[in-house]
């Protein structure tokens, strides 16, 4: 049955979170008390708990990113903090650590399938990264740091998501932009002006096509400095806490701690990979920058190009030298045709079938819901996406902050059964 997002309220978000946490607590208690020490008895309930929290996140906490009612978004932020804190605190439980460790130490652990072994390995890794080998005072300090980092991340993201600002320009300041773009803009406060906001559907076309360099700079600076006064102290505190957490766990830096669970595994591997790319790309970079700089100077500008110039002159170069005009290309790529092509291509590659669910019951009337089926097994899941201009005006399209998860741990894992 499709979850009815049209009925989501500030209260329902809290109730959904309450229920999920209660069910997750029950599953963890089941895992700790289970006998004998087997994967199905002790680890599988933890996976089910994670799945339940993921479901609750979609029904409640996700509303912090999507809902048009500020009160519901605030409730979603509070739910996100509660769910993330619960997950972050889980590896610090000594009773749970003992229960899972016993599974890992049994002869039966060697007979688990590959997915189950991987899940068990990740649980033991998370326990180690939670400082289970540390003395109690250090482990308690680390747990407090992790909880505070969750609070800082949620507050940081909320400040970014709720931040609103814009520039106001007259019609001549919109030279270079399509009439359709101008028609979608709201009027500014001053008579005869247009409001260009920091929302992506207005930000990027303006930076790429507006001929007014001063206006591009003004919008660019507002975008990169959004919520700076509120978030600078949060970021400073987070950096200090991250370094302290790394020290407690014996890592040289937070980067070593965070990257350990990623594909690169070490900061040194990232640096080596980056260096190998830079040396190969430098000739192409220099050639492209030279072409952009020539355009920049031909417009009468002196000195160095700035960050708010790159997109604009890159777009100009595409049009004149390569015959690619994003506005003209867009006319040949209507949303319906793009979706059909994407579904056809991914369906062939991954063996999937898609079906639109007509009654989406979503948080916004422009959101579409699709049922995705695996052709081989018949398994089914659903995914939704915002479409249309009204969705772009809501918080649906607002990006999360560039601050990745402060905890470095994941909310859920693969299905291991």
HEC-encoded secondary structure of 38-79? CHHHHHHHHHHHHHHHHHHHHHHHCHHHHCCCHHHHHHHHHH
- Which residues are bridge partners to 386 per DSSP? 367
Distance from chain centroid for Cα 266: 22
| pLDDT (0 to 100) of residue 410 | 39
Please tell me whether residues 116 and 26 are part of one structural domain.
yes
C-alpha angle with apex 366: 373 to 76, nearest 5 degrees?
85
* Tens digits of residue pLDDT in 76-93: 999 999 999 999 999 999
Instruction: Find out whether 198 and 164 touch, Cβ atoms under 8 Å.
Output: yes
Q: Is residue 410 part of a domain?
A: no
* pLDDT one-digit tens code per residue, 191-219: 999 999 999 999 999 999 999 999 999 99
Q: Residue 408's pLDDT is what?
A: 39
- Domains: count for the chain: 4
357 and 311 housed in the same domain: no
> Euclidean distance between the first and final Cα of the chain, in Å?
24
- Is residue 171 exposed (0-12), middle (13-18) or buried (19+ Cβ within 10 Å)? exposed
Structure tokens at 291: 């072409």
pLDDT tens for each residue of 98-115: 999 999 999 999 999 999
> Which of 205, 224, 243 is the endpoint of a domain?
224
Q: Indicate whether 98 belongs to any domain.
A: yes
**Spans in the chain with pLDDT lower than 70:** 1, 385-417
DSSP 261-325: TSSS-SHHHHHHHHHHHHHHHHHHHHHHHHHHHHHHHHTT--S---HHHHHHHHHHHHHHHH---
Check whether residue 13 and residue 122 sit in a common domain: yes
Task: Indicate whether 38 and 50 sit together in one domain.
Answer: yes
Name which of 169, 200, 211 is nearest 186 in CA terms. Answer: 169
Residue 377, domain CATH: 3.40.390.10
Helices 307-322, 213-224: inter-axial angle, 10-degree rounding:
130
Shared domain check, 344 and 299: no
Same domain, 40 and 126: yes
The reported pLDDT for the residue numbered 386 is 62
Three-class SS state of 384: strand
Sign of the Cα pseudo-torsion (133, 139, 145, 150, in order): positive
Whole-structure pTM value: 0.81
Asked if 103 and 31 sit in the same domain, the reply is yes
Clarify whether residues 58 and 81 are in a common domain.
yes
**283 and 349 in one domain?**
no
Indicate whether 201 belongs to any domain: yes
Residues 128, 167: Cα–Cα separation, whole Å: 49
Chosen domain end from 331, 361, 376: 331
Predicted pLDDT at 381: 75
Specify the 3-state DSSP secondary structure of 98: helix
Q: Which domain holds residue 177?
A: 163-224
**Same domain (yes/no): 123, 13:** yes
153 located within any domain = no
Count the Cβ atoms, other than its own, within 10 Å of residue 221.
13
Residue 190 lies in a domain: yes
* CB-count burial class (<10 Å; 0-12, 13-18, 19+) for 223: middle
Rounded to whole angstroms, how far apart are CA atoms 29 and 189? 58
Which residues, other chains included, contact 44 with Cβ-Cβ below 8 Å and sequence gap of 6+? Answer: 31, 416, 417
| Cβ count near 368 (within 10 Å) | 18
121 and 181 in a common domain = no
Specify whether 326 is located in the same domain as 361.
Answer: no
Residue 351 within a domain? yes
pLDDT digits 0-9 by tens, 384-393: 766 654 333 3
For helices 70-89 and 10-33, angle between their N-to-C axes, nearest 10 degrees: 10
The two tokens of residue 326 are 């994003």
- CA-CA-CA-CA torsion for 163, 167, 168, 171, nearest 10 degrees? -130
Report yes or no on 154 lying in a domain: no
- Among residues 83, 112, 130, the one where a domain terminates is 130
Does the residue 317 lie in any domain?
yes
SS3 35: coil
């Amino acid at each position: 049955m499709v979850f009815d997002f049209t009925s989501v309220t500030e209260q329902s978000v809290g109730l959904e979170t309450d229920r999920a946490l209660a069910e997750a607590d029950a599953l963890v208690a089941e895992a700790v008390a289970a006998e004998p020490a087997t994967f199905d008895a002790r680890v599988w309930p933890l996976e089910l708990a994670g799945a339940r929290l993921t479901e609750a996140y979609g029904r409640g906490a996700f509303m912090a990113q999507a809902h048009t009612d500020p009160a519901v978004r605030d409730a979603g932020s509070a739910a996100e903090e509660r769910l993330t804190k619960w997950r972050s605190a889980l590896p610090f439980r000594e009773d749970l650590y003992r229960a899972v460790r016993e599974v890992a130490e049994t002869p039966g652990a060697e007979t688990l399938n590959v997915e189950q072994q991987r899940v068990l390995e990740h649980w033991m890794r998370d326990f180690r990264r939670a400082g289970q080998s540390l003395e109690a005072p250090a482990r308690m300090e680390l747990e407090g740091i992790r909880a505070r980092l969750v609070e800082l991340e949620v507050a940081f993201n909320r400040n970014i998501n709720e931040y609103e600002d814009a520039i106001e320009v007259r019609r001549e300041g919109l030279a270079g932009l399509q009439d359709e773009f101008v028609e979608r803009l709201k009027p500014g406060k001053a008579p005869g002006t247009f409001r260009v906001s920091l929302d992506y559907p207005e930000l990027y076309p303006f930076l790429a096509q507006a001929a007014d360099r001063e206006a591009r700079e003004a919008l660019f600076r507002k975008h990169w400095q959004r919520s700076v006064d509120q978030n600078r102290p949060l970021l400073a505190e987070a950096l200090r806490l991250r370094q302290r957490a790394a020290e407690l766990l014996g890592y040289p830096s937070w980067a070593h701690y965070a990257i350990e669970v990623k594909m690169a595994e070490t900061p040194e591997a990232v640096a080596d990979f980056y260096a190998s790319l830079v040396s190969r790309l430098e000739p192409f970079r220099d050639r492209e920058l030279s072409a952009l700089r020539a355009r920049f100077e031909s417009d009468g500008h002196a000195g160095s190009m700035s960050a708010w110039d790159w997109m604009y002159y890159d777009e100009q170069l595409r049009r004149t030298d390569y015959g690619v005009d994003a506005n003209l290309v867009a006319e040949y790529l209507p949303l319906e045709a793009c979706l059909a092509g994407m579904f056809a291509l991914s369906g062939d590659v991954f063996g999937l079938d898609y079906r639109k669910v007509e009654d989406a019951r979503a948080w916004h009337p422009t959101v579409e819901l699709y049922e995705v089926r695996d052709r081989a097994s018949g398994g089914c899941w659903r995914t939704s996406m915002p479409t249309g201009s009204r969705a772009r005006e809501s918080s649906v399209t607002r990006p999360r902050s560039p601050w990745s998860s402060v905890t470095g741990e994941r909310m859920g894992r693969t299905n291991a059964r």
